[in-house]
Every structure is written in structure tokens, then in C-alpha cells.
Amino acid sequence: MRVVLDHVGIAVKDIAAALAFYRDALGLEVDAPEDVLSQHVRARHLGTGAARLELLEATSDQSAIAKYIEKRGPGLHHVTLRVEDIRATLAHLHARGVRLVDDEPRAGAEGALVAFIHPSAAHGVLVELKQAAPRGAELSVKRLTFGDLQLTMLHDGGIRLDGGAMFGTVPKLLWEKQAPPDDRNRIQMAMRPLLVEAEWGRMLIDCGAGDKMSAKHADIYALDRARHLDHALEEVGLTAASIDLVLPTHLHFDHCGGATARVNGTLLPRFPKARYLIRTAEWGDATHPHERNRASYLQEDFVPLKEAGVVDFFEGDEAIRPCVRVMRTGGHTGQHQVVYVESGGRTAVFVADMIPTTAHLQDPWIMGYDLFPLDTLAFKKRFIREAIERDYLILFEHDPHIVGGYIRETADGRRHVERVL
């Protein structure tokens, strides 16, 4: 049972007067005011690192805060502890004879579930338990007609990776506002393969993590496979057997794990009719990993493909099929590539791990995982400028919410995505 301090609630007579101390004198940052009508309370939250302070002012005499102040004067009112499973926590406490105010959780602010423990059980402190609202990834299938092509952003469920590793040298103080971490410092991400349908067939670009991962690693990465690639394909009337070509951007497990499947103990190509198009040099790196990338290159994801004779190797930047070409970027891995899809005078680019999420739009926001971060930087400086000038539709494989859009830049250099998908 993980228990993390979420916030400390302080009952005050007058929030404006209290802010003169907490905000003006101490210099704490204040969130927008919040009125909890059902509780007859007005609240202001102040940032103090991982946990917050919550100032509470009564808005009517019936409020528990008014009664509290009348009886004991202003001061410390409650401590809120965050748990992952509030029902399990309540059952556990109940079984140990802990006196509870709420046997069942109730709805709190922002989609959270909350329940109070009686102060007598907590040695005079009112303790609130809180289970935060789940922040899952956007896992719906997005389709778009693009010139002569049909483009579909599929998904292979959700994954969470360490926030620090995802933002490299950027301090948590900055990235946690863009990508709030969970209690284990992981940020939510999606895995979205791109399906290109053309007159020459159906090509899948990347194919998610698949289902070969051990329970231990599935827990480390919070692999969420409640809905995965088979479900996404089914939504558009397809199955794994509908795929003619699979083109991985690189061979890391979250991009290529879905390329093979274990069937009765044997590792087989997951897409039974597909040819797998792999850059020769990436194959060389993936099959000769070193200590720094061994955890990302899992041999079971790609070696069985060669054994089955379904790999077509290619050497450089080339048109893989009409309207689809690859460009080596390096950076993330030595041979990482992005995929340009061009039809009807428009260009879409599947940027894979070069701009994994929309929180990575600024040039120096580069993953700690990258083997050659200065190459990533050089690529981003050139590519993002080009994408803005030429109106490329950018497809984000890992963003938890935004699937695709156009990068825009304001006069002071701030970037955002005008969302399309």
C-alpha cells in the first residue's frame, strides 16, 4: 500500500487575509480559487513541492469549516493522503478496526474519490484518503483521408515511462506542469502505430509493445493492455492478417514489441501475411546492443522475423512505397528514422521518438534515453522550422492526448500544436 502526502488543509477565517501571509510573505504560488458548493467552502491551493497547502474558508454557517473554527479557532484542519486503490485501503483499515467516517468513498474535486478517517483513530488528526482520477491515454482510433491515402492512427494501449528519463536535462519543476507524474514519477504515454492504406496495400508504421512482456516489466512500465492493437484494428474492420507491410521506425520494444507474438511457446511474426521492412544498420545495432540500450532492444521482438524469412532489408533514405519515404534522423538511436507520407500536395510526418509528445516541442526538451542528444537537437532545429513553414501534419506516437496537428509558433518563440486529431 503506497501512501503519499497530497495536501494539508488549513481552516481560515478569511482567505484574502491568509494569502497576505502564504502568498505574499512566503511567496507560494496560488492556483485558481475553487468553490465547493456542497461543502459550503471556498478553497485556494498553494504549491509547496509535491504536496500542497489548501486554505479553506467557510461560505456559510452550515459548513464544517465554520463549525471547526467556532469550536477550535482557525488552524490545521485535515491531512490528505493519496492512495492508489481507496476501496482496498478502506477495507484494509476496516479489517484492522480503524474507525472510519466514510466506509465507502465519495466523489471529491477533479474526479477524485475521497473518504475520511475518524480523528480518534489518527491521534487527533482528521485524515482524508484520496484516490486521484485516472489519467489514462487517449486511446481512440483516428482516421483521416489524406490525398489518395487513408491514414489511421491506431493504438496499442498505454505505457508510463519515468518522467525524468523522458525529459532529459529539463528540470522536473518545468516538465511536471506539462506532464504530471504519478506516485512513481512516471508519465502517461500512448503507443500509436500509423496505418497507411494505399492502392499498393496496407502498411503499419510501428506496432506497439505487444503482449510478450513479463509481469514485472509490465508493472514497471504500467503497460495498459485493456484495449490494444487488435481492438484498434477491429474498430476499422481489420485484423493482423490484413497488414501487408510493417515498417518500424526503430527496433525498441515500445515500437516493435508487437512485431512478434508467442504462439504455443514459439515466437512467430504477429502479422502472418506481412513483410517487415527494416533498415540494415538499425538491425545491426539492435542485434549488438550495449549496456546503455540493452533494456530497449529485446531480441525476441525481431530475431524471430529473420528466422521466419519475412524481413526485407533496406539501406538508406528512400521511398519505401509510393507516397511513403523514410528519413534517418539518428539522435534517439543511431539509425532512428521518421516517416514522410505525401499525397495530394500535403505532407504528414510520423515523428516517432524525435518529438514523442507535444511536451517535447521546444528544441532542448530531449529525452534522456537518446543516445545522441545533439543529433536530436540538430534535427529538431531544422525539422520543426520546416514543419511550421510547410504546414506538415505531425503525428505524435506517444502523446497521451494529442494524436496529430500542426506546430505553431508565436512571435516570442513559444510553440504549441493546433490539434487536428
Residues that bind Zn ion (CB under 5 A): 254, 353
Supply φ then ψ for residue 178, to 5 degrees. Answer: -85, -35
C-alpha cell at 403: 494524436
Q: Which is nearer to Zn ion, 254 or 375 (CB)?
A: 254
Q: Can you tell me the distance from the alpha carbon of 306 to that of 397, in angstroms, rounded to the nearest whole number?
A: 26
Q: What percentage of the chain's residues is helix, strand, coil (to nearest 5)? A: 25, 35, 40
Instruction: Quote the least distance from Cβ 333 to Zn ion, whole Å.
Output: 10
Q: Which is nearer to Zn ion, 138 or 244 (CB)?
A: 138
HEC per residue, 400-413: CCCCEEEEEECCCC
Instruction: Quote the least distance from Cβ 348 to Zn ion, whole Å.
Output: 19
Instruction: Quote the least distance from Cβ 253 to Zn ion, whole Å.
Output: 9
Q: Which is nearer to Zn ion, 128 or 353 (CB)?
A: 353
Cβ contacts of 213 within 8 Å, gap of 6 or more:
221, 223, 253, 257
Cβ contacts of 27 within 8 Å, gap of 6 or more:
none
C-alpha cell at 102: 466514510
Q: Which is nearer to Zn ion, 254 or 399 (CB)?
A: 254
Q: Which is nearer to Zn ion, 44 or 380 (CB)?
A: 380
Q: Which helix (H) or strand (E) holds 177?
A: helix 172-178
Q: Which is nearer to Zn ion, 193 or 304 (CB)?
A: 193
Q: Which is nearer to Zn ion, 256 or 320 (CB)?
A: 256
Instruction: Quote the least distance from Cβ 76 to Zn ion, whole Å.
Output: 45
Q: Which is nearer to Zn ion, 304 or 356 (CB)?
A: 356
Instruction: Quote the least distance from Cβ 30 to Zn ion, whole Å.
Output: 37
Q: Which of 395, 414, 397 is nearest to 406 (CA)?
A: 395
Instruction: Quote the least distance from Cβ 204 to Zn ion, whole Å.
Output: 16
Q: Which is nearer to Zn ion, 68 or 369 (CB)?
A: 369
The burial of 145, by beta-carbon neighbours within 10 Å (0-12 exposed, 13-18 middle, 19 or more buried), is given as exposed
C-alpha cell at 131: 484516490
Q: Can you tell me the distance from the alpha carbon of 87 to that of 93, in angstroms, rounded to the nearest whole number?
A: 10
Q: What is the DSSP letter of 240?
A: G
Supply φ then ψ for residue 124, to 5 degrees. Answer: 90, 0
Q: Which is nearer to Zn ion, 191 or 203 (CB)?
A: 191
Instruction: Quote the least distance from Cβ 356 to Zn ion, whole Å.
Output: 6
Instruction: Quote the least distance from Cβ 316 to Zn ion, whole Å.
Output: 23
Per-residue burial over 101-110, b = 16 or more CB atoms within 10 Å of its CB, e = otherwise: ebeebeebee
Judged by phi (left if over 0) then psi (alpha if -120 to 50, else beta), residue 179 lies in beta
Instruction: Quote the least distance from Cβ 65 to Zn ion, whole Å.
Output: 47
Q: What is the DSSP letter of 58?
A: E
Q: Can you tell me the distance from the alpha carbon of 303 to that of 287, in angstroms, rounded to the nearest whole number?
A: 8
Instruction: Quote the least distance from Cβ 252 to Zn ion, whole Å.
Output: 6
SS3 298: coil
Instruction: Quote the least distance from Cβ 280 to Zn ion, whole Å.
Output: 21
Strand boundaries in 96-220, DSSP class E:
106-107, 113-117, 126-131, 142-146, 149-153, 158-162, 186-190, 194-198, 201-205
Q: Can you tell me the distance from the alpha carbon of 400 to that of 402, in angstroms, rounded to the nearest whole number?
A: 6
Q: Which is nearer to Zn ion, 285 or 353 (CB)?
A: 353
